[in-house]
Structure 1
Amino acid sequence: MGSSPLIIVAIDGGAASGKSSTSRLLADRFNLLHVDTGSFYRHITAELLRRGVPHADRPALLAALPGLKFSTRLEGRSARMLVDGQAAGDEIRDQRVNDHVSHYAAVPEVRQVLLGYQRGQTEVARQHGFRGLVMEGRDIGSVIFPDADFRFFLHADPAERAKRRAAEGRQDSVAERDRLDSSRKTSPLVVPAGAIDVDSTFLTLEQVVDKLAALIAPKLP
């Protein structure tokens, strides 16, 4: 008998909408590989800033991208991207990266260089015995896995999301991040057609997870 097909869960949403916490808990509940694509863009941003390659210098950026070699290391149930064999540190969450990540992510060639790597996480999940993967980001259900078994879009009131960021001790303009990500020409932040829209403003994390899990569970043997 062949192995069971992998289940793919796509979770999109703006900054501080609850994507990461929800995805991690779903990964734990169903033995799925957790893939945080936002950390990929943050890692690339930090690396290009370290190399002195500004997002507005298109020739320099296009010259630098082919030299970025991606691989994956597992940390528990989470996929950690390595660039040239190196994992990113806490710097990918600092203010400098916050201020620049949406600009680098808006460059079509940056998104293209990550496309195959992101889709390749299904093979990482398969090789390590996961039942599938849950991937979070801003274009997962619309671009990366438009045929995912489940596509969810999480959102919450901007004031509530700003409060969540502050509670984490992070200064992140969620409204500005959303504006930049929604207005870019390539793979903008959108609610994918047919995706299940979940408003988490007045829900606890556990309630959000239970809501999504109730839909996912019947699909798994």
Structure 2
Amino acid sequence: MAEVSGRVGEVRVDEGASGVSGANGASGREPVTVAVDGPAGSGKSSVSKAAARELGFGYLDTGASYRALAWSLLERQVHAEDASVVIAALDDFDFRIGTDPEHYFVRVGETEVTDAIREPRVTAVVSLVARVPEVRVWLNERFRAIVAASEFPGVVVEGRDITTVVAPDAPVRILLTASEEARMARRSKELTGESAEKVGAALRSRDQADSRVVDFMNAADGVTTVDSTHLDFDQTVARVVEVVHDRIDLTETGRSH
């Protein structure tokens, strides 16, 4: 199991009980990057994790890192509205995130925050953190290091601006999207206690906040769009896996068609 620390200048990989030795260390190849972008409610996280399992790849949820930082700021009662304070907080922000889709976790220091970063209070401020350019640059560097250190033959990396900024040269780049109505319906199922109106308002607010930083609704050149509006979960996963197989030769991982 890969465990990579986000501390400045530190990338650490610990091997788990599975005994998987660095597949890429043995082959000399860097892991293949499958970059998945898309708006809130499009299913990026769940679809990417399932596709990673099917492909035998690692999985990196980049949004969790922004959430971990937001959680850390809230715990320290730091105001996320002040960009300079957020930037200063990076100096001692120590986070770890698992890349094994079967053993996913997020930690800040020694604290397990996998579930805590999904709390509404974190969701309410994460866009404030994510819109700070210096934060994005700092985390993007760590995302690239995490992928490079992975013991998996490839890593499915999902989140905002992955296809254009974090991994613009990835052999597989996918924009996973769906209509606003479909995204609202899916998010409503996840948040059973929320009204459709409240979910819709939150989704539109998130889209508006994110659009100030990145264009996540339009595919850049070379990016394959997967529209899941009329697909169920399994069909969407199958389509993503199909795109990966179409773009790279998994018998010789890393070789593009």
TM bucket, shorter chain: 0.7 to 0.9
Query: Structure 2 CA distance, aligned partners of 1:71 and 1:94?
Result: 19
2:83 to 34, 58, 65: 58
1:149 corresponds in structure 2 to 171
Counterpart contact for 1:70–1:117, Cα < 8 Å? no
Q: Deviations over 1:11-54 (max 9, x none)?
A: 00011101112111111111111111111111111111111111
The TM-score normalised by the length of structure 2 is: 0.76
C-alpha displacement of 1:75: 5.2
Q: TM-score, normalised by structure 1?
A: 0.88
Cα distance in 2, alignment partners of residues 88 and 41 from structure 1: 12
- 1:156, CA displacement in angstroms? 0.8
Matches within 5 A, 1:59-208: 59-73=84-98, 76-77=101-102, 80-126=105-151, 130-169=152-191, 171=194, 172=199, 173-184=202-213, 187-189=214-216, 191-208=219-236
Report the Cα distance in structure 2 between the residues aligned to 1:112 and 1:162, rounded to whole angstroms.
30
Residue 195 of structure 1, CA deviation: 0.6
Q: Number of aligned pairs?
A: 216
Supply the AA of the counterpart residue of 1:219: D
Q: 1:11 aligns with which of 30, 36, 53?
A: 36
Tell me: higher relative CO, structure 1 or 2? Use CA pairs within 8 A at least 6 residues apart. 1
* Cα distance in 1 between the residues matched to 2:137 and 2:106: 16
Deviation at 1:110, TM superposition (A): 1.6
Matching of residue 24 in structure 1 with residue 49 in structure 2? yes
State the identity %: 34
C-alpha separation in 2, matches of 1:153 and 1:45: 25
Residue pair 1:24, 1:34 contacting (<8 A) in 2 also: yes
Q: Distance in 2 between matches of 1:91 and 1:26?
A: 25
Letter in 2 for 1:99: A
What amino acid maps onto 1:136 in structure 2? E
1:109 positional shift: 1.8
